Amino acid sequence: MSTSQKKTARGLFTLGIATVIALTPSFTSSAAEASSRPWMNTSLSPEQRAAKLVSAMDLSQKIHMLSGTKLTGPHTPATGYIPPIPELGIPEFVQSDGPAGVRNGKNHATKFPAPLTYASSWDPAIAGLEGRVAGEEARALGTDQLYGPGFNIARNPLGGRGFEYYGEDPYLSGTMATANVKGMQSAGVIATLKHYVTNNQETSRLISNSEVPERALHEIYMKPFEMAVEQAHPGSVMCSYNSINGTHGCSNYYTLTKYLRHAWGFNGYVVTDFPASWSTEDYKNGLNVEMPQTFTSLEPAVRLALKQGRLSEKDIDARVQETLTVMFRFGIFDRTKNIHPINVDRGDTAAQKIAEQGAVLLKNQNAALPLSDKTARHIAVFGDSAKFAVGGGGSSNVKPTKTDTALDEITKRSHGAKVTYSLGTDLQKAAREAKKADTAIVFVTNLTMEAADRPTIKLLPHQNKLIEKVAAANKNTIVVVNTGGPIAMPWLNNVAAVLNMWQPGQAGGKATAALLYGDVNPSGHLTQTFPQEDGQWPANTREQFPGKPLGLKPIYSEGVFVGYRWYVANNQIPLFPFGYGLSYTTFAYGTPRLYKTSGAKNAPIKVTFTVTNTGKRAGATVPQIYIGKPSQQGIPVPPKELAGFRKIYLCPGETKTVTITVEPRQLAYWNTQADRFVVMPGLYRIYLGSNVNNTPSMVTYTVR
């Protein structure tokens, strides 16, 4: 009986798998082995090695590679796992969750801030840092592949996994995902783009059908995946639970083969969400591995599909070869796993830096922040999230290597000031405590997690009442927000400052204290628009989100008018616009000028301008370039679309000249008749500013 037959016989039981792992922890090649197993010849390309191995496999062994299982046990804990085939020298293939650090169900690893945090840094180096450190920790823990980054578009602020994604703009999301993948794969760990595609809600996510116009599908939802595939060459893509225009995400030839592989040149392998395969024929349409194994990938089901002609062995060979090519490409066949303790301090330092760089200062009236050792001699702290490390639930729920709290770190940083704490449930007592203090700091949070959408952007009533009472008693009230997405702020006009820390992870306490005291200057900017109230957003009807009936049929009738595109087009004034973020210093942008503007459709646009730090503190700003496309041929276009950005660090009084290149793709729209991106001739408006609603400079560019 072959290894794959044994696997089928034992079904999903993991006891036998654990035994196999213990006996065959890794495989190394030798001269004799290279002779008997030519696929172990490291002088061959990964593609050549995979082809030789597939030609030596019997059908059962090939079917073995079409699926995996869940494994959390004493040997190499994993979220997803393909057992080894010792007789062929195929090693175990260990996979773990990874959007915010390594989560395998057993090991401790760095609990990074929510991915929305490092997207809010608007600094690809920060996304790359998270990827690199997470990848290093994955290698140390024996993991070959991480399920991350996740970067579906935040179509609606109520989406439950908005904290785990990069925001509402495809260009920004694709840029940050590209950096994260490069960082992760630099450690020799396979990155996994997820969830491909239109996985924009948690309601009925297993069985919903996203009805998306073709233009929106390409311009908004597929675009960030296309960018990451073409620029970062990820080893894997995870197909989504939901259907796309009537065809399941893991069965979808249009998305998985026509575009992912053929148009974009993806050379990795496709793995399902857990589980998301509906038919054995999925392997014909582009799926490589079902995880974990269900009826669709059981050997009898595959053999029946072959017998009935619904699947060919050529299809199986292609899928298995693609998977094995990735394993060879990342050295999984050629290295002995060196499982060892992770570098806890390195991870914690990285987590703190990411939390600091992604925090967004939303309000700072009369320079209430940063806190001063001279004036803040008595600080009253309120709210439960001041006393625990805040993170999202589900795939991002990493077991931290260490934790801190904002309350403890503020107390340490206060240099002997009196710091009091109250949960704030007794509102009258909270008001009395606030009145005694020089400064009051109220911490608030909301729950965001996988598998459930949010019912509202409002905080729980007792949190709003606490802020109102404390603010009425102390004019120097600061609100620290720990959230996974936009929230309403009915108390905004009554508080002195608002610092949005998102879900800051295991080092969030140190990061919060550093920002409050000005040891670090806030420089994050919003990647999601903050509405003023419930319903002030695109996709605001039940038909659109989560879809009728019961979330089964979300209709994307807003088209390309997602996020800020909708607000600007409809003259809607949000609470805080996309791209918004304050600093403890000030900046001035010079007048932009265009460089090398040939006017040809395939020519990039170079926008050059100066940035000056006009304040008294060192800090960073994010100049943003938006494009207004010509409205011709009856094609509706958003008034502004993000086309470029750069994070710039400056000392007080320092000026730098900045050039941002706008690629032709950022000028293009998806032409459904031509089935491709097209740059229209006409007048393009190029805006420069600090957020989408603050673009005082504009120049024009004509495409002939």
pLDDT of residue 598: 64
- Of the two residues 602 and 526, the one the predictor is more confident about is 526
Query: Which of 261, 295, 330 represents a domain boundary (last residue)?
Result: 330
- Inform me whether the pLDDT recorded for 261 exceeds 60: yes
The share of the chain scoring above pLDDT 90, in percent, equals 90
pLDDT of residue 13: 25
The per-residue DSSP string of 314-330 comes to HHHHHHHHHHHHHHHHT
515 domain-assigned: no
Tokens of 87: 């007789």
Yes or no: say if 152 and 199 are a contact pair by the CB < 8 Å rule.
yes
CA distance 662 to 605: 5
Write the pLDDT tens digit of every residue in 9-49.
333 222 222 222 233 344 444 556 667 999 999 999 999 99
Query: Which of 307, 330, 353 represents a domain boundary (last residue)?
Result: 330
Tokens of 281: 């024929």
**Residue 353: which residues within 8 A CB-CB, separation 6 or more?**
126, 129
9 domain-assigned: no
**Residue 376: which residues within 8 A CB-CB, separation 6 or more?**
414, 417, 438, 439
Write the pLDDT tens digit of every residue in 299-330.
999 999 999 999 999 999 999 999 999 999 99
388 domain-assigned: no
Is the pTM higher than 0.85? The answer reads: yes
Expressed in percent and rounded to 5, the helix, strand and coil fractions of the chain are: 35, 20, 45
Yes or no: say if 243 and 199 are a contact pair by the CB < 8 Å rule.
no
pLDDT of residue 33: 65
Sheet holding 247-248, edge to edge: 209-210, 243-244, 247-248
Q: How far is CA 284 from CA 44, 221, 225, 271, 279, in A?
A: 28, 24, 22, 14, 10
Give the range of the structural domain holding residue 200, as residue numbers without chain letter. 39-330
The share of the chain scoring above pLDDT 70, in percent, equals 94
* Average pLDDT for 586-599: 86
- Of the two residues 576 and 388, the one the predictor is more confident about is 576
Q: How confident is the model at residue 76 (pLDDT cuts 50, 70, 90)?
A: confident
Buried-state track 193-206, b at ≥16 Cβ within 10 A, e below 16: bbbbbbbbbbbbbe
Which residue in 273, 282, 348, 404 is the catalytic one? 273
Q: Is 97 a catalytic residue?
A: no
- Inform me whether the pLDDT recorded for 4 exceeds 70: no
pLDDT of residue 92: 96
The per-residue DSSP string of 322-390 comes to HHHHHHHHTTTTT---------HHHHHHHHHHHHHHH-EEEEEGGG--S--TTT-SEEEEESGGGGS--
CA distance 638 to 83: 49
Cα angle: 688, vertex 693, 696; to 5 degrees: 40
Q: How far is CA 668 from CA 10, 635, 674, 678, 681, in A?
A: 53, 12, 13, 5, 10
Query: Which of 330, 352, 384 represents a domain boundary (last residue)?
Result: 330
483 domain-assigned: no
Sheet holding 93-97, edge to edge: 69-71, 78-82, 93-97, 145-147
- Inform me whether the pLDDT recorded for 1 exceeds 70: no
Yes or no: say if 511 and 501 are a contact pair by the CB < 8 Å rule.
yes
- Of the two residues 567 and 449, the one the predictor is more confident about is 567
Crossing angle between the packed helical segments 124-140 and 170-185, to the nearest 10 degrees: 40
537 domain-assigned: no
Residue 618 C-beta-side C-alpha neighbours within 13 Å: 5
pLDDT of residue 286: 98
11 domain-assigned: no
Crossing angle between the packed helical segments 223-232 and 170-185, to the nearest 10 degrees: 30
Yes or no: say if 409 and 510 are a contact pair by the CB < 8 Å rule.
yes
Neighbour count for residue 588 (Cβ, 10 Å)? 12
pLDDT of residue 27: 45
- Inform me whether the pLDDT recorded for 104 exceeds 90: yes
Write the pLDDT tens digit of every residue in 626-677.
999 998 778 999 999 999 999 999 999 999 999 999 999 999 999 999 999 9
Write the pLDDT tens digit of every residue in 143-179.
999 999 999 999 999 999 999 999 999 999 999 999 9
Domain containing 73 — which CATH number? 3.20.20.300
pLDDT of residue 634: 83
137 domain-assigned: yes
Structural domain count of the chain = 2
Residue 82 C-beta-side C-alpha neighbours within 13 Å: 26
Kindly tell me the burial class for residue 563, based on how many C-beta atoms sit within 10 Å of its own C-beta (0-12, 13-18, 19 or more). buried
What is the Cα Rg of the chain in Å? 26
Long-range own/partner contacts, residues 297-300 (CB < 8 A, 24 or more apart): 297/63, 297/66, 297/67, 298/8, 299/4, 299/5, 299/8, 299/60, 299/63, 300/8
Domain containing 592 — which CATH number? 2.60.40.10
Neighbour count for residue 505 (Cβ, 10 Å)? 31
pLDDT of residue 393: 80
Cα angle: 33, vertex 28, 65; to 5 degrees: 90
Nearest alpha-carbon partner for 97 in 80, 112, 83, 110: 80
- Inform me whether the pLDDT recorded for 74 exceeds 80: no
Nearest alpha-carbon partner for 501 in 510, 493, 489: 510
- Inform me whether the pLDDT recorded for 107 exceeds 70: yes
For the chain, the first-to-last Cα distance in angstroms comes to: 68
- Inform me whether the pLDDT recorded for 112 exceeds 90: yes
414 domain-assigned: no
Q: How confident is the model at residue 448 (pLDDT cuts 50, 70, 90)?
A: confident
pLDDT of residue 391: 80
CA distance 338 to 141: 8
Q: Which of 16-25, 378-387, 552-561 has the lowest mean pLDDT?
A: 16-25
pLDDT of residue 57: 98
Tokens of 116: 């929305």
Nearest alpha-carbon partner for 250 in 214, 205, 196, 298: 196
Return the DSSP state at 394: G
Amino acid 611 reads: V
Write the pLDDT tens digit of every residue in 383-407.
999 998 788 788 999 999 999 999 9
Beta-bridge partners for 239 = 196, 272
Backbone angles phi, psi at 653, to 5 degrees: 80, -5
pLDDT of residue 400: 96
